[in-house]
Structure 1
């Protein structure tokens, strides 16, 4: 920087002559601290370089955040294991009916995984974790919940499974989640898809009996 060269020149001149020279750095966005040297020369400490380094670190952090997001989306777009395949792997591991499958952002180890919920006998729920690259079961745990009647009522007589709903919606994009909507008037499978790194996620409903895919109007999406 020119300002640093001027300060260095003035300081050298002061040391050569034994006199005292004051050097000042000016700027609306700068802060400077002065210290007295042993020769009596006032030297301005310019923090611009340190501020520039901090700004560079901030920019690097922003780039890393973007890269992490792209990496997550790339994993979804190019992964070998689809939602339907993750459900199939979970059902091989535990008995029951798959009620949801979600591509979780991270597990405890910071890895993107499929999380599949399976309704078992009675009030038993199985949560199964699937590797999206290999389809390997990474782990599972079982819980018991009293409120399963509504879910069972929605599934009773349904001819379209969660895996079939995922396959039907796959024509709209890469499926990232499938969930049973047992609350609404028109009960269906709620499916979320992702088109590419530049496209927003979209929500769809898959009819429990016909398998017809329609846009989820509650989110303002269009088919």
Structure 2
């Protein structure tokens, strides 16, 4: 009798609640206690934190379509000269888009900052950088006799260690060269020789 009453109560609750009710498992023995098991919808939020952080590398390098050599080529088509640095920047003040910031030293020793959209490869800004004047002599001296450009250095590292996120002339080190940062399975800081394009780990930044 008790069993029939419990089943009837469950049926009534299902009708009133629109078909959703708590399922009750009743023992065969009317004298024994009833076991209650809640049926709940799965919580999708439990999976939201299951993110793939392998490598811990910034996502910016994997979403941009324009490589460092391509950004450098675009900047040089706009402004003639020698590229001294190129860096991927996802915190650009102009709309928050991801861009390449490229520094060009022109033949008349003027420093020009050229901004290249990392998605389209188009130049979106160019301006003179007056605060870089004191580095002109050092850059000229380091690049004298060099045969490896910033684009060459980026290509050399990309072939060895994955996507390049920055390349910068190091004129202050014991041996001037290109400092290159990469993102990939072998992400690292690298030094590229200005004359031989030899790639070695940059242990100074470890």
TM-score, length basis structure 2:
0.67
Give deviations 1:140-161, integer Å, cap 9, x for gaps: 1013343211100001110000
In structure 2, distance between residues paired with 1:79 and 1:107: 14
Q: Who is 1:170 aligned against?
A: 158
1:108-187 pair list within 5 angstroms: 108=93, 109-144=95-130, 145-147=132-134, 148-171=136-159, 172-187=161-176
**Secondary structure of 2:129 counterpart:** strand
TM-score, length basis structure 1:
0.62
**Secondary structure of 1:150 counterpart:** helix
Q: Who is 2:178 aligned against?
A: 189
Q: Which has the higher helix share?
A: 1
In structure 2, distance between residues paired with 1:146 and 1:138: 23
1:1-223 pair list within 5 angstroms: 73-108=58-93, 109-144=95-130, 145-147=132-134, 148-171=136-159, 172-195=161-184, 201-220=187-206
Q: CA RMSD in A?
A: 2.4
Q: CA deviation at 1:202?
A: 1.4
In structure 1, distance between residues paired with 2:180 and 2:106: 22
**Secondary structure of 2:103 counterpart:** strand
Unaligned stretches of 5+ residues in structure 1:
1-58
Q: CA deviation at 1:74?
A: 3.7
Larger RCO, structure (CA 8 Å, separation 6 or more)? 2
Unaligned stretches of 5+ residues in structure 2:
1-44
Aligned residues: 152
**Secondary structure of 1:190 counterpart:** strand
